[in-house]
Structure 1
Amino acid sequence: MPRNAARRTAKLAALPVAFAGRNAIGLGKRLGGKPAEAVMSEIQQRTAEQVFRTLGELKGGAMKFGQALSVLEAALPEEMAAPYREQLTKLQDSAPPMPTAVVRDQLAAELGADWAQRLTWLDGGPTAAASIGQVHKGTWYDGREVAVKVQYPGAADALQADLKQLGRLGKTIAPLIPGIDVKPLIEELQTRAVEELDYRLEADAQRGFATAYEGDPGIVVPHVVDGGEKVLITEWLESTSSLAKVIAEGTEAERDHYGALFARFLFTGPAITGMLHSDPHPGNFRIIPGPDGGLGRLGVLDYGAVARLDGGWPQALGRLLRKAADQDAEGLVATLRAEGFIKDRTTVDADLVLDYLAPFVEPARTEEFQFSREWMRATFAKINNPRDPAYTVALKLNLPPSYLLIHRTWLGGLGMLSQLETKAPFRAMLAEHLPGFAD
């Protein structure tokens, strides 16, 4: 095993060991008379810092795993979530930079030796980091400001190695994130890894979104300028912050406004582009202030992970949500069977199926719904409670491959809306943009 790969593996493997060690130290402190709550808070804070610092340093699959978890932070119990929140937010927007010389080598390899004649100026330091690359600001030869995303050398090997190692450590990492099943999350990331490594695929997807949302009053998608397999150049998006800032300190008006734009983007994308943006974490959504710094538009970045939905949203998805929202248990089970969510020989109690899925469709039952961390925590607590009669339903449901990214994006979207604490006419959005829901 190469030295760098061995070092990365050792860092990942040390995370559950460190957690266990801190718990042992915590036991000693409790025996010494220190309050249990204070000890656990200290353990969680230190563990959170190490976990997400390590994930950020490793970039690749480890950082992507952390970004995916960051969206589900709202599902954690508050006493667990508080010490993790700051580190998660940091991870969404940052990672250690690669040397300038390496960046230039990558540009030459992808754009040709004369790249500097087209990219006439390049900032010496990165302005942002992605899970497998970093972004620099530059100037194109026609005067346009551009964003230059450059993939880390060896990112493919690092991504695959990280995800493989995280897969092995799934059971031991689980105690660090109670209430969230990390195994399917890692498996899904492994499935999509190859696609996200080819920036040419990302460029094709971004072109489709940029054309579709050209002139939209609330949503902005930068156009693609140039690129290759490991370099992507797009128009520069001038923004002040990401949704992470609105989550941390936004006003009620900002939370509702940008949350509604975020939801509209996710809902309308499949119908007008044939694709679903499937990487909903706050760092990918940028705030573009309106006149005098007022409520403005939402810029959307990073099209490496998209679900290609020929014909838009599946009609059955709208029917499933409508039957669940209307508490039609028998109709819900029949549709689930037809779509492959329940296999032919699997016997289920229709009322228990409805009870199990009910929390996820609660926003579709009222004209306006108030998302919150409390709601998200209660939802996850219910579906993860082995004492709940509906808990056994989870063992009988099957997730068809065609719904894999839809499922991930739906959960991630609910997580972000809960972090934003957005109040939105969710039912009306479903009726307008999700085929089958209003039928």
Structure 2
Amino acid sequence: MTDIPRRAVSRTARLAALPLGFAGRTVLGLGKRVTGLASEVISADIQQRTAEQLFSVLGQLKGGAMKFGQALSVFEAALPDELAGPYRQALTKLQESAPPMPAASVHKAIAAQLGENWRAKFTEFDDTPAAAASIGQVHRAVWKKGKREVAVKVQYPGAGDALVADLKQLSRLGGMFRVIQPGIDVKPLLTELRDRITEELDYELEAEAQRAFAAAYAGDEEIFVPQVVAAAPRVLITEWVDGTPLAKIISSGTEAERDEAGRLMATLHFSAPERARLLHADPHPGNFRMLPDGRLGVIDFGAVARLPEGHPEPIGRLVRLALAGDADGVLDGLMAEGFVKEHDPIDAHALLDFLLPMLEPVAAEEFRFTRPWLRAEAARLASPKSPAYQLSRHLNLPPNYLLIHRVTLGSIGVLCQLEAKAPYRSILERWLPGFAPVP
């Protein structure tokens, strides 16, 4: 058996052990099958041990498991207070943590992409990785031409195969995460991740997206996107970004710092489709830095939504109609976009009641996102006894809105982690087509 198959078998075994180990501890701790919300049935000790095992397994994996954990980490704000502590600690570690690749492997990978004389392109190269993520790790270096400090992202050898294998295995974790938080449906998340594997593995494609973002925000006073210095299919070299990681702002930033970070996150989310014709589609905190000059630094453009026409106009228009109380207009618009089937007997006013609590952040001039607000919305939408849950079963998510929907939910999760207050309504009026009334 070669080394690669052994690693694959080991990875699969660790993944398979997660739901089994969780189930075993549940039986031992409770003596019965888990049903309902985890906060009602799982002891604090079992919560902590499950969180620790979740990180110890996902944290050892490169590829799909790492990316899956990063994606889930933005939803920790929806967890009940009793669970938020251990899962927050476990999942947020995945945002910027992964086992490092040995220096010899790094050198070999770079040589395969940039040529055997790759070192001649740098005056300095730090073999110790500065950061590690799902499919690659980042090294700090100095680019010889221009003596620029750069970030060198090197893809793990075999990352593509590992990503496919891990995502197949991770489908087994659906039941585990339903126990942790029933409102999170992991299957669409996994499906979307699989669909985007090819794009994220192609660093030249990522470089193209980053160049578009950098051009769109060149000289901007609020958003900073580092320039691409060089790119190959498996190595990407960009300007180095110094700043305070958003995760640190979340954990220990002042209220003013968290509010400003939230405002800038929302500005990026809604302005990018118009300015760059792209949407940054990986909104976990590891991809953002607050720079010393107050700008939001944005990195990692492997996952983007391409929106050549900008943000879809119906979204802004229908939000505006909902806030104005036009129930029939909202129903007609959602039906035209495919969110509601033509002959489905949905009551327009019940639909409006379903939507308005979600639109609270843009109903007033300012709004503070909080974990309790997100938990209340998650509970309202996830409880089978809730009218909102029953109505949601009649709604459809058209494929062309899937990524926008997922990124928006992820961004809201980060804003709730920040507990950020900002004038979100005015941001939408400036950047979201159809939201501001026609003069």
Residue 112 of structure 1: CA displacement?
1.3
Shift of 1:40: 0.8
Q: What count of residue pairs does the alignment treat as equivalent?
A: 427
Q: What is the one-letter code of the residue matched to 2:196?
A: R
CA deviation digits over 1:14-59, x for unaligned, max 9? 1111111111221269xxxxxx999711101110111122112112
Residues 355-389 of structure 1, C-alpha deviation per residue, up to 9 Å, x if partnerless? Answer: 22223211111011111001010011100011112
* Contact kept? 1:315, 1:435, Cα under 8 Å: yes
Secondary structure in 1 aligned to 2:95?
Answer: helix
2:149 to 145, 150, 157: 145
Name the counterpart of 2:163.
159
Match of 1:125 among 125, 128, 146: 128
**Contact conserved, 1:244 with 1:282, CA < 8 A, in 2?**
yes
- Secondary structure at the residue paired with 1:145? strand
Corresponding residue SS for 2:12: helix
Please give the alpha-carbon distance, in whole angstroms, between the structure 2 residues aligned to 1:85 and 1:197.
28
Q: Given the superposition, is the C-alpha separation of residues 368 and 147 from structure 1 closer, same or farther in structure 2, using an over 3 Å criterion? A: same
Query: Which residue in 2 is equivalent to 1:242?
Result: 245
How many Å apart are 1:200 and its aligned residue? 0.8
1:261 equivalent to 2:259? Answer no
The letter for the 2-side match of 1:401 is P
Residue of structure 1 in register with 2:103 after alignment: 100
Range 94-103 or range 338-347, more displaced: 338-347
Q: Describe how 1:317-328 pairs up with structure 2 within 5 A.
A: 317-328=315-326
> Which residue pairs with 1:72 in the alignment?
75
Describe the SS at the equivalent of 1:265: helix
Q: List aligned pairs for 1:190-229, cutoff 5 A.
A: 190-229=194-233
Residue by residue over 1:50-100, the C-alpha shift from the partner in whole angstroms, topping out at 9 and shown as x without a partner, is 112211211211111111111111111111112111112211111110001
Give the superposition deviation at 1:404.
1.3
Greater mean deviation of Cα atoms: 100-109 or 345-354: 345-354
1:271-295 Cα shifts (integer Å, max 9, x gaps) = 01000001000000012123xxxxx
CA distance in 1, matches of 2:167, 2:41: 34
Q: CA deviation at 1:172?
A: 4.2
Indicate conservation of the 8 Å contact 1:167/1:187, yes or no. Answer: no
Q: 1:388-403, aligned counterparts within 5 Å?
A: 388-403=386-401
Tell me the TM-score normalised to structure 1 length: 0.94
2:280 and 2:304 in contact (8 A); partners too: yes
- Contact in 2 for aligned 1:76/1:179 (Cα 8 Å): no
> Residue 68 of structure 1 aligns to which amino acid in structure 2?
A
Matched, 1:233 2:237: yes
Aligned match of 1:183: 187
Q: 1:347: which partner in 2?
A: 345
2:54 match? 51
**Is the CA contact 1:75–1:415 (under 8 Å) kept in the aligned structure 2?**
yes
Shift in Å at residue 394 of structure 1?
Answer: 2.0
Q: CA, structure 1 residues 227+80, in 2 after alignment: closer, same or farther (shift >3 Å)? A: same
Residue of structure 1 equivalent to 2:280: 277
Q: Which residue of structure 1 lines up, in the alignment, with residue 368 of structure 2?
A: 370
2:174 maps to which residue? Answer: 170
Counterpart of 1:2 in 2: which secondary structure? helix
Structure 2 unmatched runs, 5+: 33-38
Q: Deviations over 1:110-143 (max 9, x none)?
A: 1112211112321011001121100000111121
Q: How far off its partner does 1:405 sit?
A: 1.2
Counterparts in 2 of 1:208 and 1:39: CA distance versus 1, 3 Å: closer
Alpha-carbon distance change, 388 to 178 in structure 1, aligned in 2, over 3 angstroms: closer
- For residues 228-259 of structure 1, the C-alpha deviation after alignment (integer angstroms, 9 at most, x for no partner) is 111100011122x3111111111111011111
Q: In 2 relative to 1, CA 378–38 (structure 1 residues): closer, same or farther, beyond 3 Å?
A: closer
Whole-angstrom distance in 2 between the partners of 1:110 and 1:415: 37
Shift of 1:267: 1.0
8 Å Cα contact 2:210/2:228 also seen in 1: yes
Cα distance in 2, alignment partners of residues 301 and 433 from structure 1: 22
Between 124-133 and 348-357, report the one with greater CA deviation: 348-357
- For 2:344 and 2:114, the matched residues in 1 are separated by 54
Contact 2:18 2:173 in 1 (8 A): no
Moved more, 209-218 or 147-156: 209-218
Aligned residue for 1:293? Answer: none
3-state SS, counterpart of residue 345 of structure 1: coil
C-alpha distance in structure 2 between counterparts of 1:222 and 1:211, whole Å = 10
**Cross-structure match for 1:115:** 118
Q: Could you tell me which runs of 5 or more consecutive residues in structure 1 were left unpaired when the two chains were aligned.
A: 30-35, 291-295
Query: Aligned match of 1:23 in 17, 23, 26?
Result: 26
Q: Secondary structure at the match of 1:299?
A: strand
Equivalent residue for 2:14?
11
Distance 2:153 2:213 in 1: 18
The alpha carbon displacement at 1:337 in A equals: 1.0
Find the partner of 2:290 among 287, 290, 297: 287
- Bigger shift: residues 249-258 or 165-174: 165-174
Tell me if structure 2 keeps the 8 A contact 1:71–1:412: yes
Residues 326 and 365 of structure 1 are in contact (CA less than 8 Å); yes or no, is this contact kept in structure 2?
no
SS in 2 for 1:45: helix
Shift of 1:410: 0.6
Residue 426 of structure 2 corresponds to residue 422 of structure 1? no
Aligned to 1:32: none
**Does structure 1 conserve the Cα–Cα contact (< 8 Å) formed by 2:259 and 2:421?**
yes
Indicate the residue corresponding to 2:385 in structure 1: 387
The yes-or-no answer on 1:85 pairing with 2:88 is yes
